[in-house]
């Protein structure tokens, strides 16, 4: 029977789906968190760098405004004091009205600055780690040389410069200055890549702040994911256990019900035996009382013999009363007699197999079902259950002497000669030829401790429903019991 196997697979598939979906959700949430952290850090970096470069515009504007004649009290022109105040400013150059810039790059930058009316970059090769910017003014123009390395405000930096996995760089016109190296090694394997691009907020120095973070599979929260999978497995195992317990209880209740019905039916058979048992004491009572009557009618009456005949009659009457009492006690729980109705034979067989599952498993037998998915018969539900249960249990018991690997139980359902037929074929030792004619006799049993009432009961139940049971030996060994029942009367 494949039902429990299929059920286990469903439990397994369900468990795997829930575990995987949960683990994926945990991984996703962790990635989202890391992305949010990355973006916050990148925005802070962009703001800090923007604040720095904006200063350069302000410095140049101030210099242009003051012009060279505004030397301070110390006599040093202001531009000479700047590198001391701003460590990122390596040098300040000026071009007075009658002078020229020392190189063409500065001349070009000044021209660009004059057109744009703001500071302009000269030789923006960021790889060298420095750049120059010029602000055209009259009469004196100024140029600053800025060191990118010292420009970064490390004390306010949101990340650990040495250990952070985020790479931060400034990009301009195809050249790049790396501010923080980060760790891009996971990028060589499949994984996730976070990227941030934003140009600093100063038109004169349009550097693109680029932050990149690579995450590999190793960055996923494996311990949390594993804990989730374990939790799912535990919950499913507990649920499965509960479900098993419930079905075991149902099975036990059902067996109890079958057992009670079986007991009742068996008692029906026993009643016949008891009638036989009653016959003897009642005959003895009759004989003894008749004898006493005769002895008392004698003249003089033979009181002693009559008394002993009456004593014997009383004893026999008590025996009979005992038999009746036993019978009454045994049939104390009569069941409502079920009426014949349309029943699915396949379903009845499945039900019996389910109930006998522990018996089959214990003997290492996997029953096989063959036939249509439904076969409606006209039967008494309780009687049908009882017959099928008995036939299957007998087959399982009969296979006990056979090697476990050679135990096969085949249940075939067919329609033959206008009747539904269930064949229960086992691979046991079969039925000895001298036993065969006596199988359905009440109290006939070859099993140790067997009552010998099962088959005779099955036969009377089957006949009561207009059907029959026969037994034979299979062509390849083992016994085959055939149950025939009328098909459902008004079947479509």
| Only segment of 124-132, 207-215, 378-386, 450-458 that touches ligand ADP (CB under 6 A) | 450-458
- Is residue 452 involved in binding ligand ADP (CB under 6 A)? yes
- Is residue 479 involved in binding ligand ADP (CB under 6 A)? yes
Nearer to ligand ADP, 414 or 460 (CB): 460
Q: Which of 89, 229, 353, 431 binds ligand ADP (CB under 6 A)?
A: 431
| Only segment of 116-124, 311-319, 400-408, 425-433 that touches ligand ADP (CB under 6 A) | 425-433
CB of 393 vs ligand ADP, minimal distance in Å: 8
Q: Which of 124, 186, 428, 467 binds ligand ADP (CB under 6 A)?
A: 428
- Is residue 450 involved in binding ligand ADP (CB under 6 A)? yes
Name residues contacting ligand ADP, limited to 349-408 (CB under 6 A).
394-395, 398
| Only segment of 26-34, 223-231, 377-385, 427-435 that touches ligand ADP (CB under 6 A) | 427-435
Half-sphere exposure of 478 (CA within 13 A, CB side): 21
CB of 464 vs ligand ADP, minimal distance in Å: 17
| Only segment of 42-50, 107-115, 185-193, 424-432 that touches ligand ADP (CB under 6 A) | 424-432
CB of 425 vs ligand ADP, minimal distance in Å: 9
CB of 452 vs ligand ADP, minimal distance in Å: 5
Nearer to ligand ADP, 140 or 266 (CB): 266
Q: Which of 197, 307, 447, 491 binds ligand ADP (CB under 6 A)?
A: 447
Interface size with ligand ADP, residues (CB under 6 A): 19
Nearer to ligand ADP, 389 or 488 (CB): 389
What is the rounded distance in angstroms from the CA atom of residue 141 to the CA atom of residue 63? Answer: 9
Nearer to ligand ADP, 151 or 483 (CB): 483
- Is residue 333 involved in binding ligand ADP (CB under 6 A)? no
Three-class HEC string of the chain: CCHHHHHHHHHHHHHHHHHHHHHHHHHHHHHHHHHHHHHHHHHHHHHHHHHHHHHHHHHHHHHHHHCCCCCCCCCCCHHHHHHHHCCCEEEEEEECCCCCCCCHHHHHHHHHHHHHCCCEEECCCHHHCEEEEEECCCCCEEEEEEEHHHHCCHHHCCCCCCCCCCEEEEEECCEEEEEECCCCHHHHCCCEEEEEEEECCCCCCCCEEEEEEEECHHHCCHHHHHHHHHHHHHHHHHHHHHHHHHHHHHHHHHHHHHHHHHHHHHHHHHHHHHHHHHHHHHHHHHHHHHHHHHHHHCCCCCHHHHHHHHHHHHHHHHHHHHHHHHHHHHCCCCCCCCCCEEEEHHHHHHHHHHHCHHHHHHCCCCCEEECCCCCEEEECHHHHHHHHHHHHHHHHHHCCCCCHHHCCEEEEEEEECCEEEEEEEECCCCCCCCCHHHCCCCCCCCCCCCCCCHHHHHHHHHHHCCCEEEEEECCCCCEEEEEEEEECCCCC
Is residue 292 left, alpha or beta, with left meaning phi > 0 and alpha meaning psi from -120 to 50? alpha
Nearer to ligand ADP, 126 or 431 (CB): 431
Q: Which of 414, 445, 468, 470 binds ligand ADP (CB under 6 A)?
A: 445
Cis peptide before 139 (omega within 30 of 0): yes
| Only segment of 16-24, 32-40, 102-110, 452-460 that touches ligand ADP (CB under 6 A) | 452-460
Nearer to ligand ADP, 192 or 440 (CB): 440
CB of 377 vs ligand ADP, minimal distance in Å: 22
Tokens of 29: 């949430």
Nearer to ligand ADP, 192 or 444 (CB): 444
| Only segment of 140-148, 263-271, 349-357, 448-456 that touches ligand ADP (CB under 6 A) | 448-456
Name residues contacting ligand ADP, limited to 42-61 (CB under 6 A).
none
- Is residue 186 involved in binding ligand ADP (CB under 6 A)? no
What is the rounded distance in angstroms from the CA atom of residue 65 to the CA atom of residue 245? Answer: 91
| Only segment of 73-81, 168-176, 415-423, 445-453 that touches ligand ADP (CB under 6 A) | 445-453
Q: Are 194 and 167 in contact (CB under 8 A)?
A: no
Q: Which of 455, 461, 483, 485 binds ligand ADP (CB under 6 A)?
A: 455
Interaction site with ligand ADP (CB under 6 A): 394-395, 398, 426, 428, 431, 435, 439, 444-447, 450-455, 479
């Amino acid at each position: 029977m494949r039902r429990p196997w299929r059920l286990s697979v469903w439990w397994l598939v369900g468990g795997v789906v829930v575990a995987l979906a949960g683990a994926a959700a945990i991984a996703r949430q962790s990635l989202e968190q890391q992305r949010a952290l990355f973006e916050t850090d990148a925005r802070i970096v962009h703001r800090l760098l923007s604040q720095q470069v904006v200063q350069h515009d302000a410095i140049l504007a101030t210099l242009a405004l003051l012009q060279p004649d505004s030397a301070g009290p110390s006599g040093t022109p202001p531009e000479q004091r700047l590198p001391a105040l701003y460590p990122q400013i390596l040098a300040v150059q000026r071009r007075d009205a009658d002078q020229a810039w020392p190189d063409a790059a500065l001349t070009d930058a000044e021209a660009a600055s004059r057109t744009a009316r703001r500071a302009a970059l000269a030789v923006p090769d960021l790889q060298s780690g420095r750049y120059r910017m010029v602000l055209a003014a009259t009469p004196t123009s100024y140029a600053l040389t800025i060191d990118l390395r010292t420009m970064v405000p490390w004390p306010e930096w949101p990340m650990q410069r040495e250990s952070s996995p985020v790479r931060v760089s400034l990009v301009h016109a195809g050249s790049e200055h790396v501010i923080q190296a980060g760790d891009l090694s996971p990028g060589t394997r499949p994984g996730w890549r976070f990227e941030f691009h934003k140009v600093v907020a100063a038109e004169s120095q349009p550097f693109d702040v680029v932050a990149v973070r690579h995450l590999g599979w190793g960055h996923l929260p494996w311990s949390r994911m594993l804990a989730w999978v374990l939790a799912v497995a535990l919950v499913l195992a507990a649920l499965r256990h509960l479900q098993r317990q419930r079905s075991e209880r149902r099975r036990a209740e059902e067996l109890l019900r079958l057992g009670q019905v079986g007991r009742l039916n068996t008692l029906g058979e026993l009643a016949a035996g008891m009638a036989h048992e009653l016959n003897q004491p009642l005959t003895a009572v009759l004989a003894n009382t008749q004898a006493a009557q005769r002895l008392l009618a004698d003249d003089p009456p033979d009181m002693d013999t009559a008394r002993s005949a009456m004593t014997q009659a009383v004893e026999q009457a008590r025996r009979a009363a005992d038999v009746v009492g036993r019978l009454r006690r045994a049939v104390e729980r009569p069941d409502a007699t079920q009426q014949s109705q349309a029943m699915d034979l396949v379903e009845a067989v499945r039900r019996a197999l389910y109930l006998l599952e522990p018996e089959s498993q214990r003997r290492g037998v996997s029953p096989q079902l063959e036939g249509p998915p439904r076969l409606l018969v006209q039967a008494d539900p309780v009687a049908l259950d009882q017959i099928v249960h008995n036939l299957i249990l007998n087959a399982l018991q009969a296979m006990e002497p056979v090697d476990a690997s050679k135990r096969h139980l085949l249940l075939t359902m067919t329609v033959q000669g206008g009747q539904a037929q269930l064949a229960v074929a086992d691979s046991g030792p079969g039925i000895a030829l001298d036993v065969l004619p006596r199988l359905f006799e009440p109290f006939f049993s070859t099993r140790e401790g067997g009552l010998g009432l099962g088959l005779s009961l099955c036969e009377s139940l089957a006949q009561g429903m207009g059907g029959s049971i026969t037994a034979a030996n299979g062509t390849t060994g083992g016994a085959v019991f055939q149950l025939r029942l009328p098909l459902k009367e008004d079947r479509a």
